[in-house]
Amino acid sequence: MFIGSKEMSLDRRHFVYGGAAAFSAIAAALVGGGSPARAQTYRADEGKELAPGVRAVELGKGAAMIPGYKTVSLIDLVFQPRSNLPVGSMPNAMICHITEGELMVLQDGKEFQAKKNHVWTCAEGTKEGARNDASALGVMRIANLLTA
């Protein structure tokens, strides 16, 4: 067999196709057999009620390696359809992410639509509120960056 021969390129092509198929099978196994990721579902009474139809579900807390922060925590805010969380002052810096549905967010007087997978940040003291105008559940995951 010579490099560049018809036999060699056939072997190389089969190797590439076989490798791609093997990679696809491994990737599918790692992400759950290729099924789409699903958001966490919650009971209507789970977590702590913050406002009518809005509940906070604590997910976990741990030490932070980020300079200036001692602790991080994850919380899901679960918005029932047509619910509203009034504007309030953020007690700490945070990263927010919509994991399910969509919300209208009012941040420091500016409104924006946050659809699934939208990510934004808040600084300590930011004024923010959110509402779910949709007929489906909305979930905002919050990563709290805590100094204490």
Domain extent at residue 16: 1-37
Rounded (5°) CA angle 124-113-110: 50
Chain segment 117-146, per-residue pLDDT in tens: 999 999 999 999 999 999 999 999 999 999
Give the residue from 144, 132, 142 showing the smallest Cα distance to 62.
144
In a domain, 59, yes or no: yes
**CATH number for the domain that contains residue 75:** 2.60.120.10
> What global pTM score does this model have?
0.72
The answer to whether residue 43 is domain-embedded is no
Tell me, yes or no, whether 76 lies in a domain: yes
Q: How many separate domains does the chain show?
A: 2
In a domain, 81, yes or no: yes
Q: Are 87 and 106 in contact (CB under 8 A)?
A: yes
Q: Are residues 88 and 133 in the same domain?
A: yes
Each residue's pLDDT tens digit, 73-106:
999 999 999 999 999 999 999 999 999 999 999 9
Please state whether beta strands 84-89 and 110-115 pair in parallel, antiparallel, or not at all (unpaired): unpaired
Asked whether residue 61 falls in the same domain as residue 131, the answer is yes
